[in-house]
Amino acid sequence: MLPFELPANEWLEYPPAITPEMLAAPLDDKIFDNPSYGTVMYAKNFKTDVENSYFISCASKLIRSNHPLAYKRNAFISAGNFFTFSKAHKEVRYDKNMYFYGDELPMSIRLYTYGWNVYNPGESFIYHLYKTSKGLFPGLKSGTMSNENNRFKALLGLSENDIIPKEYGFGNVRSFKDYEETFGINFKDRILSEKAKSGNFENIKF
């Protein structure tokens, strides 16, 4: 058990938020040796802060390592808690044009098409400082969200205005359509299935 209560808010998503008690503690304090909660990512809705957005707002539920969904498959990565083999990073390179607003969802889909699977962590040994005195997204410039949405549309084949370089495109192990069917997401019509909204992908086969 942790020696304090984690705040019950949305920023316990990926990974848990660091607390004032932890910031005040010395780095060799034993609280940093204890694993925190794991998480199950799920889709809340398609974003509305950009017109005709194809990005999804994700959140997560806190779980322990004995939870039925711990270490089970999921549709979404969290860039703040993204650990994998170096081969995955070499095969599926981060798109340098996705600054922050839309980096996770395209990477989740692209990893899938290259044959990589994503799993829910049952526990975590890292925390993240989400809010600073400079705000939540201090480097996010005006127009970034719209530009990234347009780029994502091109990746999904829903726009002819942009061409995505091959190095930032889909793999050939599994298709984008396979991703939609597997996780219950219809991007063109912006429809989320109940399993996508619950994060319960327990019966998905490899």
Quickly list DSSP for 117-143. -EE--SEES--B---BTTBS-TT--TT
Q: List the single range of 28-37, 94-103, 163-172 with lowest mean pLDDT.
A: 28-37
Question: Is 85 within the bounds of a domain?
Answer: yes
CA distance 185 to 172: 20
Q: Residue 60: what pLDDT?
A: 85
**73 C-beta neighbours (distance < 10 Å), count:** 17
Query: What would the pLDDT profile of 167-193 be if each residue is shown by its tens digit?
Result: 999 999 999 999 999 999 999 999 999
Domain count, the chain: 1
Helices (H) and strands (E) in the chain, counts: 6, 7
Q: Is 193 helix (H, G, I), strand (E, B) or coil?
A: coil
* Angle formed at CA 204 by CA 68 and CA 197, multiple of 5 degrees: 70
Question: Is 133 within the bounds of a domain?
Answer: yes
Question: Is 206 within the bounds of a domain?
Answer: no
Q: Is 40 helix (H, G, I), strand (E, B) or coil?
A: strand
Sheet holding 56-63, edge to edge: 56-63, 36-46, 123-124
Q: What percent of the chain has pLDDT over 70?
A: 84
Full residue range of the structural domain in which residue 50 is found: 10-198
108 pLDDT more than 80: yes
Q: List the single range of 102-106, 141-145, 150-154, 199-203 with lowest mean pLDDT.
A: 141-145
Question: Is 2 within the bounds of a domain?
Answer: no
CA distance 41 to 69: 10
The residue with tokens 């509305």 is 48
Question: Is 118 within the bounds of a domain?
Answer: yes
Between 50 and 16, the higher pLDDT residue: 50
Query: What would the pLDDT profile of 5-35 be if each residue is shown by its tens digit?
Result: 434 333 334 677 777 777 788 877 766 666 7
pTM to 2 decimal places: 0.85
